[in-house]
């Protein structure tokens, strides 16, 4: 028990205590549920008949929805939920129709792993976790429209996830129109001959399988045999994004191999430019925009073809075509298919022994090197610091501008998946090429004049000279000279030359890859796809949705020896033959089909959930267009529409946000929604951190049992160390909201979390500091209620001038702070006002007590409801108008300052009594009359006596 509940305090029978808070909070939570206080009307429902409501601006406020974990919530989790709740409450009180609710992102690996361990169905454990979290969340007094909540595992929800998959499957990207269109329209183009088939035959002459292959090249969702990240230890493939920098699975930390497997992909690359450009119109933290830009990775450069004697030319992608005269060798990715075609039978006469790696022939060298490269991840291969490895192919190509023969290598620092998988190496000006050239004793040529004093002989340099801000040298042939040009101009000039000679062209390259969309998992959305006997994929008709997850005996994907790259994945769904093999009538009579047995990745359910909140029970349409337009449509300042505020952790900078943006754009292109972006404003809250205490063995000890003595920390008689870290069960420092609610009440917890610091900054939890906010509520209570009798003490008297000033300054400041999400400073201002009132003593005038209650209502809604009711109001505080400050009381009192020049008064300034000397001096010197009186004369001296006098002595 805390000291706050000591006998002395409970002596006053009507004091605000934890017990009273518990009573108040439970009562008002029941009231809100019964009244539907937070239900937001839709434009087709109540809103249509209610002109007053229809005139209100809307606000759609969202949190990144939680995964229902078995561990439940600790106090760090609800930080963002409380913040959006406070914000939403303030928006309601300032005349907005607010939509705020919270669902659950409930498919995912933990439930499946738990099922594998315990034999509990993932649905059972997930649902019980959700029930537990709902109780915890309800205890916090979050004003959610519960009618709109759902979990992604509900068949009524994932029916539409599957439906969206079908829309994407049935679409292609028309690059001319720059939007997605139905595949049916593409088929029309092939049928009419408007668009030729790849081999020029008539569309009708193609077999069904050939047509499916052609269309597969266009579809926005397509199956392919591309190399994927296969983790035998996990038994599943992973998206690039789920693989760590050292080439292991983010979950489970297993090795990941590149394997060719038939998998579903989403052609997100078709949207690369739009995903990039539309970032400009979004109100997102710059850091997140930057991460998305880097992820998409747009590079402007050129493709350049280098002729090879033995075969067709090698095309490289370069962003520095201006340095072409300095390209002294080439590198292909080891897997590049050109390698076989260019290697000669034997090493050319006089080949440098370092180039051959000691292998007797190019073929043997290539085989050995490929094996070595395959064992590394892309990230490992790209690491800047690592020693450069590679081997000569025995072939030479020709530099198209210098005419020089340049050797062609294979090396793992060149990746197959980027650009053309081949580079021209310019060792003098690229760090990786420099390191490689040094290792293999390759020639270097300086073609960009170094701006330092290193000179133009690269053999004497310590590193490459790479700069965009420099001029070209050593770069001319009979037809073209780049010498003396800047990089930008040289790039333009050489690109034009290459294009004219048919050996290259300007091009744009993206780092973004298509999104691998298959998982070998049980606990996910089944694909609405079946295969016929020829193996052609067919979409299920809408009438067959939802395709429900079947029951299986065994939920686990088959896992293998983590190091066994040759293992083949086996999906849990494939074990249920009755479900897999079906006879269906897809419009041409009953036929036998085999279902797709992969499931969708965890990201699918969160790609469109904002839309479901709008129209949660719609079983005819994804979302009613009128409703979507109302809550999410484009409007002034929000050119692409979207949710008005989306709050969540910065760890979702790329994946979730990029995928959701992609789905929005497809749905927008196909005419299903008016918004082209899901989230207009994004805000990242900070983390609540906690102290971790460790004993001498480095083992975490329960934080709650640690005592502080003489500036040191002790546990069980032993000294322990303290560092700031994450909060969680494993670190034995988790504090649950339930504990804090029991000890102080939810309003105190809410205030404490909001008062800890600016919302976007991480902050350490300190249970001992929570009581400060509890005291604030006790003083607030005492200012309105007599602790002995329980009577309301307010009187109908006029407040004094200084109280009016304190009140209106608080109203003004708190209103602005809440609208700007500066909840900590809002609380500071309320505290200041409350202290002022406490100090003033005597009963509060009603005209002060009521706005005081309204000010704190968004932050501490339960106690505000209670006081509002006790002040004699019959309706909820939730929909009251937020107080408006009277400007007459907001401006500071001013004093008059005289400004003298040579002792003569030249100006009078109305200024704040608290102005500093520096501010006052600046103000005086900027005054028009003072400037005029000085007439351009210099100033020798300024004497400032803030706030009354400034004396200027001219030079």
Chosen residue from 66, 233, 421, 504 binding ligand ANZ by CB under 6 A: 421
Among the listed residues 538, 358, 329, the one whose alpha carbon sits nearest the alpha carbon of residue 438:
329
Kindly state the tokens that stand for 932. Answer: 């005029």
By CB under 6 A, residue 418 contacts ligand ANZ: yes
Q: Looking up tokens 């994804």, which residue turns up?
A: 622
By CB under 6 A, residue 809 contacts ligand ANZ: no
**Chain Cα centroid distance, residue 640:** 18
Q: What residues between 429 and 458 interact with ligand ANZ by CB under 6 A? A: 429-430
Question: How many chain residues are in contact with ligand ANZ, going by CB under 6 A?
Answer: 19
By CB under 6 A, residue 419 contacts ligand ANZ: yes
Chosen residue from 74, 139, 320, 906 binding ligand ANZ by CB under 6 A: 320
**Min CB(483)–ligand ANZ separation in Å:** 17
By CB under 6 A, residue 414 contacts ligand ANZ: yes
**Min CB(322)–ligand ANZ separation in Å:** 8
The DSSP bridge pattern shows strands 257-260 and 227-231 to be: antiparallel
Give the residue with the Cβ less far from ligand ANZ, 91 or 509. 509
d(CA 66, CA 656): 13
Give the residue with the Cβ less far from ligand ANZ, 351 or 466. 466
d(CA 344, CA 348): 8
**Min CB(321)–ligand ANZ separation in Å:** 8
By CB under 6 A, residue 319 contacts ligand ANZ: yes
By CB under 6 A, residue 365 contacts ligand ANZ: no
Q: What residues between 273 and 302 interact with ligand ANZ by CB under 6 A? A: 299
Q: What angle do CA 780, 785, 791 make, to 5 degrees?
A: 170
Evaluate the CA torsion angle 396, 398, 404, 409 in order and state its sign.
Answer: negative
**Min CB(256)–ligand ANZ separation in Å:** 19
**Min CB(297)–ligand ANZ separation in Å:** 6
**Min CB(466)–ligand ANZ separation in Å:** 5
DSSP 217: T
Give the residue with the Cβ less far from ligand ANZ, 284 or 317. 317
By CB under 6 A, residue 756 contacts ligand ANZ: no
Phi/psi region, residue 193 (left: phi>0; alpha: psi -120 to 50; beta: rest), is left
**Min CB(419)–ligand ANZ separation in Å:** 3
**Min CB(370)–ligand ANZ separation in Å:** 16
374 contacts: CB under 8 Å, gap ≥ 6: 258, 334, 335
Contact window for ligand ANZ (CB under 6 A) among 369-377, 425-433, 537-545, 932-940: 425-433
Give the residue with the Cβ less far from ligand ANZ, 149 or 507. 507
By CB under 6 A, residue 409 contacts ligand ANZ: no
Q: What angle do CA 926, 931, 937 make, to 5 degrees?
A: 120
Contact window for ligand ANZ (CB under 6 A) among 142-150, 316-324, 339-347, 856-864: 316-324
Contact window for ligand ANZ (CB under 6 A) among 140-148, 258-266, 412-420, 699-707: 412-420
Q: What residues between 329 and 358 interact with ligand ANZ by CB under 6 A? A: 333
Contact window for ligand ANZ (CB under 6 A) among 166-174, 417-425, 811-819, 828-836: 417-425
d(CA 278, CA 276): 6
Partners of 255 in beta bridges: 248
Q: Looking up tokens 């394997």, which residue turns up?
A: 259
Q: What residues between 69 and 98 interact with ligand ANZ by CB under 6 A? A: none
**Min CB(328)–ligand ANZ separation in Å:** 11
DSSP string, 395-423: EEEE-TTT--EEEEEE-TTS-TTSTTSEE
**Min CB(414)–ligand ANZ separation in Å:** 4
**Min CB(382)–ligand ANZ separation in Å:** 7
Here's the x/- map for ligand ANZ, 506-545, by CB under 6 A: it reads as: ---x------------------------------------
By CB under 6 A, residue 305 contacts ligand ANZ: no
d(CA 834, CA 828): 10
Kindly state the tokens that stand for 929. Answer: 């009359």
By CB under 6 A, residue 399 contacts ligand ANZ: no
Chosen residue from 12, 22, 363, 415 binding ligand ANZ by CB under 6 A: 415
In 688-740, where do the E strands start and end? Answer: 688-694, 700-701, 707-709, 712-715, 718-725
Chosen residue from 317, 409, 522, 579 binding ligand ANZ by CB under 6 A: 317
3-class state of residue 724 by DSSP:
strand
Give the residue with the Cβ less far from ligand ANZ, 84 or 399. 399
d(CA 88, CA 101): 10
Residue 472 burial (10 A CB sphere; 0-12, 13-18, 19+): buried
d(CA 198, CA 774): 73
Q: Looking up tokens 């998998």, which residue turns up?
A: 263
DSSP 447: -
Residue 836 burial (10 A CB sphere; 0-12, 13-18, 19+): middle
The answer to whether 826 touches 813, Cβ cutoff 8 Å, is yes
The answer to whether 24 touches 139, Cβ cutoff 8 Å, is no
Kindly state the tokens that stand for 626. Answer: 């009128």
Here's the x/- map for ligand ANZ, 849-868, by CB under 6 A: it reads as: --------------------
Helices 823-840 and 846-856 meet at what angle, rounded to 10? 160
By CB under 6 A, residue 834 contacts ligand ANZ: no
Tell me which residues touch ligand ANZ (CB under 6 A): 299, 317-320, 323, 333, 414-415, 418-419, 421, 423-424, 426, 429-430, 466, 509
């Amino acid at each position: 028990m805390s000291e706050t509940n000591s006998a002395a305090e409970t002596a006053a029978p009507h004091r605000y205590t934890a017990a009273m808070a518990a009573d108040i909070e439970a009562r008002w939570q029941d009231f809100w549920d019964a009244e539907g206080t937070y239900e937001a009307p839709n434009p087709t429902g109540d809103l249509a008949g209610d002109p007053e409501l229809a005139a209100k601006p809307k606000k759609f406020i969202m949190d990144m929805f939680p995964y229902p974990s078995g561990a439940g919530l600790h106090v760090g989790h609800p930080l963002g939920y409380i913040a959006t709740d406070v914000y939403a409450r303030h928006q309601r009180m300032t005349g907005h129709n607010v939509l705020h609710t919270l669902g659950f992102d409930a498919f995912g690996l933990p439930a499946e792993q738990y099922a594998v361990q315990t034999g509990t169905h993932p649905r059972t454990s997930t649902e019980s976790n959700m029930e537990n979290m709902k109780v915890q969340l309800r205890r916090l007094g979050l004003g959610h429209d519960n009618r709109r909540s759902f979990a992604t595992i509900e068949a009524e929800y994932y029916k539409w996830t599957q439906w969206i998959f079908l829309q994407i499957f049935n679409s292609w990207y028309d690059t001319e129109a720059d939007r997605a269109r139905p595949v049916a329209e593409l088929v029309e183009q092939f049928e009419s001959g408007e668009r030729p088939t790849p081999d020029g035959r008539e569309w009708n002459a193609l077999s069904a399988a050939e047509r499916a292959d052609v269309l597969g090249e266009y579809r926005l969702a397509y199956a392919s045999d591309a190399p994927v990240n296969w983790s035998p230890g996990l038994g599943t493939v992973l998206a690039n994004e789920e693989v760590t920098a050292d080439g292991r699975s983010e979950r489970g930390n297993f090795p990941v191999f590149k394997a060719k497997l038939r998998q579903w992909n989403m052609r997100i690359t078709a949207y690369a430019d739009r995903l990039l450009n539309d970032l400009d119109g979004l109100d997102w933290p710059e850091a997140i925009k930057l991460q998305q830009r880097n992820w998409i990775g747009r590079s402007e450069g050129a493709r350049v073809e280098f002729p090879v004697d033995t075969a067709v030319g090698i095309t490289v992608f370069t962003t520095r075509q201006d340095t072409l005269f300095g390209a002294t060798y080439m590198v292909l990715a080891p897997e590049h298919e050109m390698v076989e075609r260019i290697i000669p039978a034997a090493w050319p006469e006089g080949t440098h022994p370092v180039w051959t790696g000691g292998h007797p022939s190019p073929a043997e060298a290539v085989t050995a090197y490929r094996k070595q490269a395959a064992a590394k991840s892309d990230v490992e291969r790209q690491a800047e610091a690592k020693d450069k490895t590679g081997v000569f192919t025995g072939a030479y190509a020709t530099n198209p501008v210098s005419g020089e023969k340049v050797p062609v290598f294979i090396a793992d620092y060149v990746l197959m998946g980027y650009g053309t998988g081949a580079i021209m190496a310019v060792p003098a000006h690229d760090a990786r090429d420099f390191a490689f050239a040094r290792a293999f004793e390759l020639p270097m040529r300086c073609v960009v004049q170094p701006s330092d004093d290193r000179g133009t002989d690269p053999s004497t340099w310590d590193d490459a000279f790479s700069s965009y801000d420099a001029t070209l040298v050593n770069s001319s042939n009979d037809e073209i000279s780049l010498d003396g040009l800047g990089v930008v101009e040289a790039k333009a000039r050489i690109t034009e030359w290459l294009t004219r000679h048919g050996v290259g062209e300007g091009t744009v390259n993206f780092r973004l890859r298509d999104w691998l969309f298959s998982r070998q998992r049980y606990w996910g959305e089944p694909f609405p796809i079946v295969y016929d006997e020829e193996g052609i994929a067919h979409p299920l008709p809408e009438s067959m949705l939802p395709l429900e997850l079947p029951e299986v005996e065994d939920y686990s994907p088959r896992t293998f020896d983590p190091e066994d790259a040759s293992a083949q994945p086996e999906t849990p769904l494939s074990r249920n033959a009755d479900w897999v093999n079906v006879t269906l009538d897809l419009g041409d009579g009953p036929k036998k089909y085999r279902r797709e047995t992969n499931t969708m990745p965890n990201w699918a359910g969160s790609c469109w959930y904002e839309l479901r909140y709008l129209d949660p029970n719609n079983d005819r349409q994804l979302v009613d267009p009128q409703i979507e337009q109302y809550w999410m449509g484009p409007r002034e300042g929000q050119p692409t529409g979207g949710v008005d505020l989306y709050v969540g952790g910065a760890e979702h900078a790329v994946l979730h946000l990029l995928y959701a943006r992609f789905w929005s754009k497809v749905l927008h292109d196909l005419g299903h929604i008016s918004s082209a972006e899901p989230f207009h404003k994004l805000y990242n809250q900070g983390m609540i951190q906690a102290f971790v205490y460790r004993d001498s063995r480095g083992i975490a000890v329960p934080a709650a049992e640690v005592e502080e003595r003489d500036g040191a920390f002790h546990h069980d008689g032993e000294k322990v160390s303290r560092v700031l870290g994450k909060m969680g069960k494993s670190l034995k420092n988790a504090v649950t909201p339930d504990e804090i609610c029991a000890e102080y009440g939810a309003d105190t917890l809410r205030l404490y979390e909001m008062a800890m610091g600016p919302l976007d900054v991480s902050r350490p939890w300190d249970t001992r500091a929570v009581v400060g906010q509890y005291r604030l509520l006790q003083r607030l209570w005492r200012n309105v209620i007599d602790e002995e009798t329980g009577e309301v003490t307010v009187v109908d008297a006029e407040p004094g001038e200084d109280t009016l000033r304190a009140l209106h300054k608080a109203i003004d400041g708190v209103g602005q702070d809440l609208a700007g999400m500066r909840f900590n400073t809002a609380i500071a201002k309320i505290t200041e006002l409350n202290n002022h009132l406490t100090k003033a003593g005597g009963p509060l005038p009603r005209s002060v007590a009521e706005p005081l209650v309204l000010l704190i209502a968004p932050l501490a809604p339960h106690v505000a409801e209670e006081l509002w009711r006790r002040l004699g109001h019959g309706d909820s505080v939730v929909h009251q108008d937020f107080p408006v400050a009277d400007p007459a009381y907001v401006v500071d009192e001013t004093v008059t300052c005289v400004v003298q020049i040579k002792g003569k008064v030249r100006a009078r300034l109305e200024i704040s009594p608290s102005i500093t000397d520096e501010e006052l001096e600046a103000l005086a010197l900027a005054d028009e009359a003072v400037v005029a009186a000085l007439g351009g004369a210099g100033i020798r001296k300024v004497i400032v006596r803030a706030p009354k006098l400034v004396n200027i002595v001219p030079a």
